Amino acid sequence: MYSTTEENYLKTIYKLQIQLGTFINTNAIADGVNTKAASVTDMMKKLSEKKLLSYEKYKGVKLTEKGKMVAIETLRKHRLWETFLHNQLGFTWDAVHDIAEQLEHIQSNELVEKLDAFLGFPTHDPHGDPIPGRNGVIKESDFILLSLLKKGEKGVISGVVNHSSLFLQHLEKNKLTLGKSITITEVSSFDLSVKALLDGKEKIQLSNEVVKNILIKKLI
């Protein structure tokens, strides 16, 4: 049994390890959990004592296998709850994160497994992020950035890199939601913005900031 704060730290460190590499420094963790470095240092000691973290001088900390499993289980609950809130209760994809942050700390394994079964064992959440299995395994996806598509290539929107409410609301407003197909018709050599067809008919123009934050499944 771990506290909400401990689980939040472990989840943050897990995400940082994926982004930055094996060892994470105090400042990166402080930014990730939005707190001061001194508070992080105290928590690192506590997590180390519980064998959830290991520390290496001049490098930083990394999750132990035990810590990694706690982080992945917390992430699994978060993404399952996001899926439930979106699919069953009709919350928009920009609204589910904050509520799931609260629900992810429920400790009942039976509830989590029944939730997974009720949802039909989903593999991805409403943002296209993979949902870990009950064994902790996260399947690698074959999604790529929309910005990598060339003129004439096509893909289906399958996820996002930027999870901020403002970005998701922007996508929703412009009908750039999961499952929509995009065919690139032109790529600007000046600012890397693109012109495209949405679902094969609607002409759209997308900035580079948008296309580098959308994940797609490329179609042959």
pLDDT value of residue 144: 95
pLDDT value of residue 21: 85
- Dist. CA 109–CA 218, nearest whole Å: 36
State the distance between the two ends of the chain, measured CA to CA, in whole angstroms: 47
pLDDT value of residue 141: 84
pLDDT band at 68 (very low <50, low <70, confident <90, very high): very high
How many helices (H) and strands (E) are present in the chain, helices listed first? 8, 8
Please give the CATH topology (third level) of the domain spanning 144-219.
Answer: SH3 type barrels. (2.30.30)
- Spell out the domain ranges in the chain: 4-63, 144-219
Second-level CATH architecture of 4-63: Orthogonal Bundle (1.10)
Q: What is the mean pLDDT of residues 38-65?
A: 92
- The answer to whether the CB of 53 falls within 8 A of the CB of 29 is no
Q: In the structure encoding, which two tokens stand for residue 201, read together?
A: 């008919």
pLDDT value of residue 111: 97
Widest distance between CA atoms in the chain? 59
CB atoms within 10 A of CB 196: 23
Q: In the structure encoding, which two tokens stand for residue 8, read together?
A: 């939040």
- The answer to whether the CB of 182 falls within 8 A of the CB of 197 is yes
pLDDT band at 220 (very low <50, low <70, confident <90, very high): confident
Q: In the structure encoding, which two tokens stand for residue 136, read together?
A: 């902790």
pLDDT tens digits, 139-197: 888 899 999 999 999 999 999 999 999 999 999 999 999 999 999 999 999 999 999 99
